[in-house]
Structure 1
């Protein structure tokens, strides 16, 4: 069994469900140290940290980033799992567990690709930076910290090891989270005319939101902007007119209708409702992650297509990704760089029970990452 599989099992056995990423990072640090590769742990809070390591010519201006996140989502009802989510059991060539696809397999494949590249770093025509983050599943806090610390400023290319089933992804939508709070006036429910029902203010917004982005132009690759109200809360007692209520929504921006356009549209809608409603609405932006799109003829894309064809012997047709990733934070860096998503495991099984990765694909991805690095750095 490849020692990468053993490390993957150990990482899955650490329940880093939006916490405990430091345990994962320290195990990776110790693994790198066995190969005389130094790494840096960048603390954020107790049990939470990022990991950075770099190899190659420190004077080179060509830098390829390999990035993945160390956290996983909660497993849900344990009784629904056929294979325990933190046992990392292997059955019929598949390794099962929370994070098997999303995305500890991608992380470990990058770690062992990085180890292999380090052994021949003298021949690398550039630098490779391993960038492992905490908190991606709950807002990208780790990537944000590293971006503000300038770890993405000099990147020439970035591979995000999300589960793409070894398909090459050149674009993904952004993610925009917001809260609308409504302020009214509480009174007895028998005299509603004396109060202001905060829920009614949110209903006004919900009715507008349903068609707020109908005219948003679609992107040729990513399609139409997606939007939905996903949480609604109002009222505390059955015989009171509520004075406070709130809702939350999620929007998936696209390059043709980006995050700023979304902000402007929401702001205008809130202003118009406030001018015509008794309740007072307030908009708060909780998270804003940009859409990411790379030219299909970019050097990193071509390198990935060559590696996938040579090693996996499968189609290299490019595709897109529905979710947002840490790349949305890193592309805020001042220098523009090429980005792809490429990793083992099917995206369709991410966040589900009995999440798994095919071990043959996982092990092959190590060689894929290495070949991409060599070609791109040329």
Structure 2
């Protein structure tokens, strides 16, 4: 496959407006592409216009599962310099929604399989592609594939999420919790006739935040501490009306030592205490709930990544400004940065591994390694063309060496 064909595949993937849905069309495109090169695949319906895709090359064991998701987050068109769903190359950078997270990784995985098939490279085992729907919200696609048994005989899982030249083997869990406050509307000049849902919401959020803050000193050696954010808040309609309803959405990144259940129980306890001691009516709903995963840092796949990817990393010429920015990001996020060494690490962001590895959250052979810059979910998202091409070659070499 020549370079223009590889660019065309990524461009086509970016053109699909798979914003939190509509992955079925991508699955059908990938099935048609794989079939063109003699690779059989299966489309697994998820819901409505959502579907997963599973494909394999080779046969027998061991089984290396490689995965990428097909959905992307939403865009704010006014903030983009280019059409986010038309891949645009500028100065060696490929712009478009999903170029980093994670259609370049998915394309690179698919192309690597195609080129290994084209060259009749012997695979002494099975490479299983798991292209998923719904990773960004809920991970429904990965959950379905796990329940259907596609992970049962998997020895190693590689997810092509954007890591750059870093090997991620652990990720925090995640909770999205909606806190709802029900009150009674009234005229602002007569607040006693109403029950201010916004005020109750603020009160209980302060109690929840203070309670969770008491556990922030608990750390995991790989993942660090809990991350707590209030990301959405809604309530009230106008200044002269006491609000009758309000809600907020919490996003919490969790660690095994202060896990999802402990946090849910703590929040419920605060809500119960508040409702019992005031005239508030607070409830909560749990949205996304995924667990923390800590893989095997000494796995064969990580050793191969360190060896095979190092020469490609060495080609990168960082400017002093790029190094300064990366070092600042490292300081803020705790993620190590190096211009000379492929670092292993844990991250706060979740991946489909939380569903794929739900039965083995500790010490699985698991790694996140894929093309992409530090601009996932951002406006004017891009991946460099050089990194995209390099990861195709890296994947092919890793896949071949894995089965030796």
- TM-score norm. by structure 1 comes to 0.91
Structure 2 distance, partners of 1:27, 1:330, is 24
**Contact 1:311/1:367, CA 8 A, preserved across alignment:** no
| 8 Å CA contact retained: 2:354, 2:361 | no
Q: Is the CA contact 1:88–1:96 (under 8 Å) kept in the aligned structure 2? A: yes
Alignment partner of 1:129 is 2:131: no
Q: Tell me if structure 2 keeps the 8 A contact 1:153–1:333.
A: no
For residues 5 and 332 of structure 1, the distance between their equivalents in structure 2, rounded to whole angstroms, comes to 35
After TM superposition, give the deviation of residue 66 of structure 1 in Å.
0.8
User: 1:100 & 1:200 partners in 2: Cα distance?
Assistant: 42
What's the counterpart of residue 95 of structure 1? Answer: 94
Determine the structure 2 residue equivalent to 1:143. 142
Q: 2:345 and 2:43 mapped to 1: Cα distance?
A: 34
Asked if the contact 1:155/1:335 (under 8 Å) is kept, the reply is no
Cα offsets for 1:63-107 (capped at 9, x unmatched): 2111111112223124x3333222212233222211111111000
Task: Provide the rounded CA distance (Å) in 2 between the counterparts of 1:355 and 1:302.
Answer: 30
Distance 1:54 1:292 in 2: 25
The alpha-carbon deviation at position 226 of structure 1 amounts to 0.7
| Alpha-carbon offset, residue 115 of structure 1 | 1.9
Alpha-carbon distance in 2 for matches of 1:91, 1:238: 47
| Runs (5+) with no aligned partner, structure 1 | none
Secondary structure (helix, strand or coil) at the match of 1:73 reads coil
Q: Identify the residue that residue 43 of structure 1 maps to in structure 2.
A: 45
Kindly tell me: are residues 87 and 240 of structure 1, through their superposed partners in 2, closer, same or farther at Cα, counting changes over 3 Å? Answer: closer
How many Å separate the matches in 1 of 2:276 and 2:290? 30
Write out aligned runs for 1:4-43 (5 A).
4-43=6-45
Aligned positions, number: 374
Q: Distance in 1 between matches of 2:293 and 2:206?
A: 30
CA-CA distance at 1:33 after TM superposition: 0.8
Asked if 1:164 is matched to 2:163, the reply is yes
CA distance in 2, matches of 1:143, 1:302: 26
Structure 2 stretches lacking a partner, 5+ long: 315-339
Q: In 2 relative to 1, CA 335–182 (structure 1 residues): closer, same or farther, beyond 3 Å?
A: closer
Larger deviation, residues 159-168 vs 191-200: 191-200
Kept in 2, the 8 Å contact 1:51–1:132? The answer is: yes
Q: State the match for 2:255 in structure 1.
A: 254
Q: Deviations 1:319-365 (Å, cap 9, x if unpaired)? A: 3333212111112146963211111111x222223221111211111
Q: What's the counterpart of residue 72 of structure 1?
A: 72
Aligned counterpart in structure 2 of residue 332 of structure 1, from 358, 375, 379: 358
Could you tell which deviates more after superposition, 172-181 or 327-336?
A: 327-336
Confirm or deny that 1:341 pairs with 2:368: yes
Cα shift at 1:245? 2.2
Structure 1 residues 93 and 233: alpha-carbon distance in aligned structure 2, compared to 1, 3 A threshold: closer
Q: Distance in 2 between matches of 1:194 and 1:81?
A: 47
**CA shift for structure 1 position 238:** 4.6
Does the residue aligned with 1:352 lie in a helix, a strand or coil? coil
